[in-house]
Structure 1
Amino acid sequence: MTDTWDTIDRLSSWIAAHHTLPHQQDVLLRVLKLSEEVGEVAEAVIGATGQNPRKGASHTWQDVESELCDVIITAMVALRTLTPEAAEVFAGHLRRVADRSLGH
């Protein structure tokens, strides 16, 4: 998981280098970006199931997988934009969710 968070750190730095907004606005935009990505998941699911009569089967389930990965990456980048301790925050939260859900 360390390599994953190293990559997220690099992506966050790359995004930050291309933004001129104050940090608080950058955080808001990173969080709002999640809504955009979730919308793309919904579009892919609708396309994979052929539920848009105008477009038909416009996506595959592999497209859905890819869009879900984009949501995960975007959420990780948003968390990293919010805190430099993103990896620790995530690991701690995952532990709490697992303990609560799995009863460990």
Structure 2
Amino acid sequence: MPQTLDSTLDPIWDTVDRLHTWLDRESELPPQQELLLRMLKLTEEVGEVSAAIIGATGQNPRKGRTHSWQDVEAELCDVIITAMVALRTLTPDTREVFAGHAGRVAQRSLTG
């Protein structure tokens, strides 16, 4: 029986749950503020993707090539993990919310 999107992501979601628990335990901020800051953290991570792309392509002549495409990959992974933790902070039903949304995106994008 083929695995579903949700079941193949179970180990990743387990890691997201552990990261969420760890961040909550370490935070001294009110929950609503923590939620907003975790959302804003995405902007920081996306900026790091941009910096890595600029570094990988040598677009800053003063600095030259400062990053590799593997650095870009790592930064993209950080964006994904940060988004998953932010979603988990927003709702405990993260797996279902994500699977449902991915299904809707696939339905509208891959059919017809």
The alignment's TM-score, normalised by the length of structure 1, stands at 0.98
Separation in 1, partners of 2:50, 2:67: 11
1:47 partnered with 2:58? no
Aligned residue number for residue 3 of structure 1: 11
Matched position secondary structure for 1:59: coil
Aligned residue number for residue 6 of structure 2: none
- CA drift of 1:22 comes to 1.1
Matched position secondary structure for 1:78: helix
Aligned residue number for residue 5 of structure 2: none
Aligned residue number for residue 95 of structure 2: 87
Matched position secondary structure for 2:59: coil
Selected match of 2:74 from 37, 43, 66? 66
Separation in 2, partners of 1:78, 1:96: 20
Q: Percent identity?
A: 68
- CA drift of 1:20 comes to 1.1
Matched position secondary structure for 1:52: coil
Selected match of 1:18 from 9, 18, 26? 26
- CA drift of 1:9 comes to 0.1
Separation in 2, partners of 1:29, 1:103: 37
**What is the aligned-residue RMSD (CA, Å)?**
0.8
Gaps of 5+ in 1: none
Letter in 2 for 1:81: T
Q: Which runs of 4+ in 1 moved over 3 A?
A: none
Separation in 2, partners of 1:49, 1:13: 37
**Cα deviation 1:35-67 (Å, max 9, x = unaligned):** 000000000000000001111000000000000
- For this pair of structures, how many residues does the alignment match? 104
Separation in 1, partners of 2:41, 2:62: 27
Selected match of 2:83 from 61, 65, 75? 75
Letter in 2 for 1:85: D
